[in-house]
Structure 1
Amino acid sequence: MYTRRKFLTTSAIAAAGLGLAACRDAAQAQAPKASARTAASGPLNTRAIPSTGEKIPVIGMGTSGSFQVGQSPAELDPLREVLKRFFAAGATLIDTAPTYGVAEDVMGVLLAEQGLTTKAWLATKLSGVNGREAGIAQFEDTLRRLKTDKVALLQIHNLGDLKVQMAVARELKAQGKVKYVGVTHYVERAQDELADVVQAEKPDFLQINYSVASRGAEKRVLPLARDLGVAVLINRAFEDGKLFAQVKDKPVPTALTEAGVTSWAQAFLKFALSHPAVTAVIPATGKPDRQTDNLRAGIGPDLTSAQRDALIAALA
C-alpha cells in the first residue's frame, strides 16, 4: 500500500522544488495584520470525545515529515520551540506513527527533556504490520521510542490488517495501555471503505483527510461519525501545502478577516473545524511561528455557513 508517510515524503521533496513553503509565507503576508479589536484571544477551544465525554483541544499536531529530522541543534532546536508553544497554548494532542521514520524517537526525546511526556495526549498507530505478534511488538517498540508506558489513542493505520490489528488494539485497551482505539485513512477514494469499517467496528476515533478543496468526507464519513458518536481527527487540512500555492498573492476573504481570521492557515483549519462532526485537526509543522499561527485557529467561533462559502469561492 502506498502509505501516507510515503506520500508525504514524496510530497515534501516535490514541495521543495516548487517552493510551497515560500507560497505559504507569501500567502500569510497578504493577510491583514490583526488589530487589538479583531485578533482572536483566549484559551483553545475544546470538544468532547463522544465515547467518554473527555474534552481535548481542537488543535493538535501531526509529526509526519516535520519530526523526521536528524540530531543537529539546527534541526532539533526549532522543534523544541514548536513543542514549547504548543503546550503553552494549552494544546496536548500529538499524532504520530512508528512508520514516520524517526518521528517517534525524536518526539520521545524532546517531550522527556522538557518534562512534557505525561502532559501529552499521544496518538499513534499500528502501521504496516501483519499478525498479532507483529502488532504487539510494534506497539511495545513505540512505547519505548516515545518513552512512555501508555498512549491515549491507538489507530489502525490506513486500515491495514484491520481485523487482526483492531483485536490487538482492543486487547491493549483492556490492559490499560491504550485509552481509545481508532482507524485512519488519508485519501478520498478510501472514504467509503473507511465508512463501512466505522459502521461495523464503531471505534472511538476515526482519522481522515478533509479540507476546503477536498470535501468528500461530508458525503458519508462525517455524518456517519456524528450519528454513531465517533470522534474525528482531520489530516491534510492544508492539502500538504498545496492550498497555500493556490492562494498566493490573494487576500483572506473579508468575511473571515472581519471575524478575526488573520491568515490563510487559520482559515483552512477553521474550515475543517467548522464541520460539527470534527473533534480536532492535526496540522504538522516544524516551524515555531507557523505553530503559533495554527494554534490561533483554535480560538474563537467556528466559521459560519456564509464564511465557509466565501472560503470555497476564494479557491474556485
Structure 2
Amino acid sequence: MTRRDSLRIMAAGAGSTALANAADAPTKAINTRAIPSSGEKLPVIGMGTWQTFDVPPDKAAPLEQILQAFVELGGKVLDSSPMYGKSEEVAGAMIAKFGLRPKLFVATKVWIDGKDQGIAQMKASMEKLQSKPIDLMQVHNLKDVAVHLDTLRGWKKDGLVRYLGITHYTASQHGAVEKLLAAEALDFVQINYSVGESDAEKTLLPMAKDRGIAVIANRPFAGGELLKALLAKPLPEWAKEIECTSWPQLLLKFVVSHPAMTCAIPATSKIAHLRDNMQAGYGTMADEAMRKKIAEAARS
C-alpha cells in the first residue's frame, strides 16, 4: 500500500480524513515554537526541498500548488541547500512570482571549503532564492564549519542573515555536532530525528534545549523507509486523542512534540501529502506518555 492509497482509503471514511481537515486548517492557529535566541515564533511543520524541488524550471509548475498550499495551511520554514541541485532556483522563482517572501522563513546552507568560496556560494544562494536577507544560513554537514561560522557572524552583524546554525543528517556525527553546540554561539541546529532515528534524544536534544538553540528535524520519516512499513498497518484508535488521522501525522507529531524541537521539515511533491503533513501542526500536541505510545506502535 502506498501513502496515496492510504489517504484515498481515509478520504472515503466518514468525515475524519486528513484532506477534509486540511480545508479547515486556515481557520485554526497552527502550533508554533519560539526561537530561543530571539523569541520569534515558527510553525512546527516546515518543508524541505531536497529532491522534490530539484526539477528543471520549465517543469516546476506542479510545485507552485505545493508552495502556495504550504503557506495557506500555516507553513513558514522553507529549507534548501546549494547541494540540492536546482531547488534554490526553483523555490526562489516561485517565491518571487507569488510574492511569498514576507510569509516565509527561508533557510539554506553553505557547503563548500574555503572562506571566499563560501561567501560566493552564499551570495549565489541569496540570489537564487531571491531572499535578502536569508533568514537562516546553516553550515551544511559541518563542512569547513569554523571558517563559515566566522563569516556568518559578520554577516549576521551586517544584516545579511538573521540567524546562523549548523546541520547534519547522520547519528554518527552527533558527537561532533554536540561539541559545536557546547563551544559556539548558535541560533539553530538541524539534525536527523524521527521515531526510526531517535539517537538525538540521548544528549543532543537536551543540550540544545539547555543551550537555548532552536532545533530543526530533518528526515522526520527516517528517509521514508519507516513510513512505507507503517502504511499497511491500521492506525491506532488512540491517535484521535491528539487529532491525528494518518501515520504521517502521528510520526510528525512525535517529532515536533519533543520539548527541544522547533520544527520538522518533511519534503513532498504531492499536494495530498503536503496537506496531510501540515495537519500534524494543528491541535493537541503529544505529551511524553503519548510519545512513548507512538514510538512503541511504530516500532512494533
What TM-score, normalized to structure 1?
0.87
Cross-structure match for 2:262:
279
Q: Deviations over 1:93-116 (max 9, x none)?
A: 100011110000000111111111
Q: Does 1:44 align with 2:27?
A: no
Are residue 167 (structure 1) and residue 146 (structure 2) matched? no
Partner of 1:241: 224
What is aligned with 2:291?
308
Asked whether the 8 Å contact 2:242–2:285 carries over to 1, the reply is: no
Partner in structure 2 of residue 25 of structure 1: 4
Letter of the structure 2 residue corresponding to residue 280 of structure 1: C
Q: TM-score, normalised by structure 2?
A: 0.92
Using a 3 Å threshold, how does the CA distance of structure 1 residues 37 and 122 change in structure 2: closer, same or farther? closer
> Contact 1:24/1:245 (CA < 8 Å) preserved in 2?
yes
Rounded to whole Å, the distance in 1 between the matches of 2:88 and 2:41 is: 24
1:101 corresponds to? 85
| Residues 304/30 of structure 1: CA separation in 2 closer, same or farther (3 Å cut) | farther
Partner-residue secondary structure (3-state), 2:281: coil
Q: How far does the alpha carbon of each residue in 1:53-93 deviate from its partner, in whole angstroms, 9 at most, with x for none?
A: 01111111100001001234xx4222100011111122111
User: Does residue 1:59 correspond to 2:38, yes or no?
Assistant: no
Instruction: Report the secondary structure of 1:232's partner residue.
Output: strand
Matched, 1:116 2:92: no
Preserved contact between residue 23 and residue 244 of structure 1 (Cα < 8 Å): no
The partner residue of 2:64 within 80, 85, 105 is: 80
Q: Is the contact made by 1:253 and 1:310 (CA closer than 8 Å) also made in structure 2? A: no
Q: CA deviation at 1:137?
A: 0.5
Please tell me the residue identity of whatever aligns with 2:69.
Answer: R
Partner deviation per Cα, 1:146-197 (whole Å, 9 max, x = no partner)? 1222111010001110110111111111110100000000011111110111
Matches within 5 A, 1:114-153: 114-127=98-111, 129-153=112-136
Q: Is the deviation greater in 241-250 or in 37-46?
A: 37-46
Aligned to 2:246: 263
Structure-2 change in CA distance of 1:247 and 1:36 (3 Å): closer
Q: Distance in 1 between matches of 2:279 and 2:187?
A: 27
The amino acid that maps onto 1:44 is I
| Residue in structure 2 matched with residue 3 of structure 1 by the alignment | none
- Higher mean alpha-carbon deviation, 257-266 vs 292-301, is at 257-266
2:183 maps to 1:204: no
Residue aligned with 1:180, SS: strand
Q: How many angstroms does 1:119 deviate by?
A: 2.3
In 2: Cα distance, 1:226 partner to 1:234 partner: 14
Is there any run of 5+ residues in structure 2 with no aligned partner, and where? Answer: none
Could you tell me which runs of 5 or more consecutive residues in structure 1 were left unpaired when the two chains were aligned: 1-21
Count of aligned pairs:
292
Q: What amino acid is aligned across from residue 281 of structure 1 in structure 2?
A: A
SS of the counterpart of 1:56? strand
- Alignment root-mean-square deviation, CA: 1.9
Question: Could you say which residue in structure 2 is the equivalent of 1:177?
Answer: 160
Identity %: 40
Aligned partners of 1:157 and 1:134: how far apart in 2? 14
**SS at 1:297 equivalent:** helix
Over 3 Å counting, the alpha-carbon distance change for 1:108 and 1:34 in structure 2 is: farther
Change (3 A) 1:293 1:202: same
Q: Residue 251 of structure 1 aligns to a residue in which SS?
A: coil
Does the 8 Å CA contact 1:98/1:104 hold for their aligned counterparts? yes
- The 8 Å contact of residues 205 and 232 in structure 1, kept in 2 or not, is answered as yes
Shift of 1:132: 1.1
**Partners of 2:16 and 2:87 in 1: CA distance:** 38
Alpha-carbon distance in 1 for matches of 2:10, 2:291: 17
2:141 corresponds in structure 1 to: 158
